[in-house]
């Protein structure tokens, strides 16, 4: 934890200057425009970093509830829970985990349980938009601060009015940046394959919306296959192999998760093609494996996610609300974090900037 927090503090001075005139960083190696609906609030990020720099409060005796869709199910969720625990320790608070296991009914029951336990503040990462909004309204009735992380709710693109803050990456705007970056690197007419998560999930809906919007901006790109991969490498392998056998001229694959992209890569090989040469891969995650594949030349890029910072900054915003009564309104977009701006300088990890980024999971 000290090493990760030190990276934030050492980078703070330079980041404060950059944030004064910066939104999300522009794509590495591409000319994709920033999404029109990107409303990251540099003030929210700088306020959070200022609060860390000034020295975190001692909230000894305070109790925090971490009500989330997942905490143990994959490396992202595990790393995010580590960040929450480290942040709680840094402010001297006790933190209790409520892990819904992606079940909205379980999250409702856990929210009700957390309210009965009367915590001093709540972190909420909703399983789904509508149910998350209902849970937020229940939590709001307690009069205690609620910080929303990871996934927006209540029909909002990002920040929900009344929360003590919103820290995230995986909004529709984030996915739009990812897909537009890939499409912008196509020269001339270009056939593309898309592999997403679970049909019916909010995450998949945001992914699909981003793809359709990117296609409007890049009419030279034809989407020849758009299938769910269920975050499963085996499913992604089948999807991509079949898509390439039916569309042998496809030259790029966009994927929404590094672990699933393992199957994308194998699907390209199974179709008799060479990843990184015949077919370019653009993934999401910024994982240790994904960055390694970029450095090896098999993938063109992996787009950074920062689960540790997501929960750490969320707890910091919650601690600030408990300590001072001040909220952190707006979208604290982790593309503006020191690990991005003072590291690779871009969300998109390529062979050219991979040495400036250390994966955290």
CATH class of 2-168+306-345: alpha beta
Helix axes 75-90, 307-324, angle to 10 degrees: 30
Beta partners for 97? 66
Q: Do domains 2-168+306-345 and 172-304 have the same CATH topology?
A: yes
Rounded distance between C-alpha atoms, residue 360 and residue 305, angstroms: 9
Identify the CA nearest to 37 among candidates 157, 153, 155.
157
Rounded distance between C-alpha atoms, residue 81 and residue 252, angstroms: 34
What per-residue confidence (pLDDT) applies to 73?
86
203-224: b (≥16 Cβ within 10 Å) or e: bbebbbebbebbbebbeebebe
Rounded distance between C-alpha atoms, residue 360 and residue 314, angstroms: 17
Q: Which CATH architecture describes the domain 172-304?
A: 3-Layer(aba) Sandwich (3.40)
**Contacts of residue 340, Cβ cutoff 8 Å, sequence gap at least 6:** 25, 304, 306, 334, 346, 347
Q: What is the DSSP letter of 225?
A: E
What per-residue confidence (pLDDT) applies to 17?
30
Residues, the chain, total? 361
The DSSP-derived string for 111-125 is: HHHHHHHT-SEEEEE
Identify the CA nearest to 346 among candidates 28, 130, 20, 9.
28
Token reading at 148: 């929303």
Cβ proximity of 29 and 185 under 8 Å:
yes
The DSSP-derived string for 232-265 is: -HHHHHHHHHHHHHH-TT--EEEES-HHHHHHHH
Rounded distance between C-alpha atoms, residue 191 and residue 291, angstroms: 25
What per-residue confidence (pLDDT) applies to 51?
96
Q: What is the DSSP letter of 336?
A: G
**pTM for the full predicted model:** 0.88
Longest dimension (CA), the chain: 62
The residue written with tokens 């009700």 in the block is 112
Instruction: Classify 164 as helix, strand or coil.
Output: coil
The DSSP-derived string for 291-324 is: HHHHHHTS-SEEEE--HHHHHHHHHHHHHHHHHH
What per-residue confidence (pLDDT) applies to 42?
83
Cβ proximity of 223 and 194 under 8 Å:
yes
Mean pLDDT by 10 residues, the chain (361 residues): 44 34 33 43 91 96 97 94 98 98 96 98 97 98 98 96 97 97 96 95 95 97 97 97 98 97 98 97 98 98 98 98 97 96 96 96 95
The DSSP-derived string for 86-106 is: HHHHHTT-EEEEEE-TT-HHH
Identify the CA nearest to 346 among candidates 29, 46, 76.
29
What per-residue confidence (pLDDT) applies to 200?
86
Per domain, the residue ranges of the chain are 2-168+306-345, 172-304
């Amino acid at each position: 934890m000290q090493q990760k927090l030190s990276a934030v503090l050492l980078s703070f001075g330079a980041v404060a200057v950059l944030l004064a005139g910066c939104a999300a960083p522009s794509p590495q190696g591409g000319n994709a425009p920033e999404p029109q609906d990107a409303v990251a609030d540099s003030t929210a990020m700088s306020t959070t970093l200022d609060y860390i720099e000034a020295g975190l409060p001692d909230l000894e005796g305070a109790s925090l509830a971490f009500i989330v869709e997942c905490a143990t199910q994959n490396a992202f969720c595990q790393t995010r829970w580590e960040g929450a625990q480290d942040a709680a320790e840094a402010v001297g608070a006790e933190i209790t985990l409520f892990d819904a296991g992606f079940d909205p009914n379980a999250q409702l029951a856990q929210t009700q349980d957390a309210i009965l336990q009367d915590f001093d503040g709540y972190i909420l990462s909703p399983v789904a938009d509508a149910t998350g909004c209902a849970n937020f309204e229940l939590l709001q009735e307690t009069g205690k601060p609620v910080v929303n992380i990871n996934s927006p709710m209540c029909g909002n693109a990002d920040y929900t009015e009344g929360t003590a803050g919103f820290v995230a990456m995986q909004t529709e705007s984030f996915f739009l940046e990812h897909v537009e970056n890939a499409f912008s690197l196509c020269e001339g007419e270009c056939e593309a394959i898309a592999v997403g998560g679970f049909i019916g999930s909010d995450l998949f809906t945001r992914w699909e919306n981003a793809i359709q919007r990117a296609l409007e901006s890049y009419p030279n790109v034809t989407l020849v296959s758009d299938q769910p991969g269920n975050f499963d490498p085996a499913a992604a392998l089948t999807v991509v192999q079949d898509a390439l056998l039916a569309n042998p001229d496809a030259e790029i694959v966009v994927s929404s998760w590094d672990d699933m992209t393992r199957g994308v890569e194998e699907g390209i090989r199974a179709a008799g093609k060479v990843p990184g040469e015949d077919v370019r891969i653009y993934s999401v995650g910024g994982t240790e494996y994904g960055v390694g594949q970029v450095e090896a030349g098999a993938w063109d890029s992996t787009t950074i996610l920062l689960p540790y910072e997501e929960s750490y900054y969320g707890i910091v915003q919650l601690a600030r609300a408990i300590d001072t009564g001040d909220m952190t309104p707006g979208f604290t977009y982790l593309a503006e974090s020191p690990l991005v701006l003072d590291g690779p300088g871009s969300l998109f990890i390529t062979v050219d900037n991979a040495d400036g980024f250390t994966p955290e999971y």
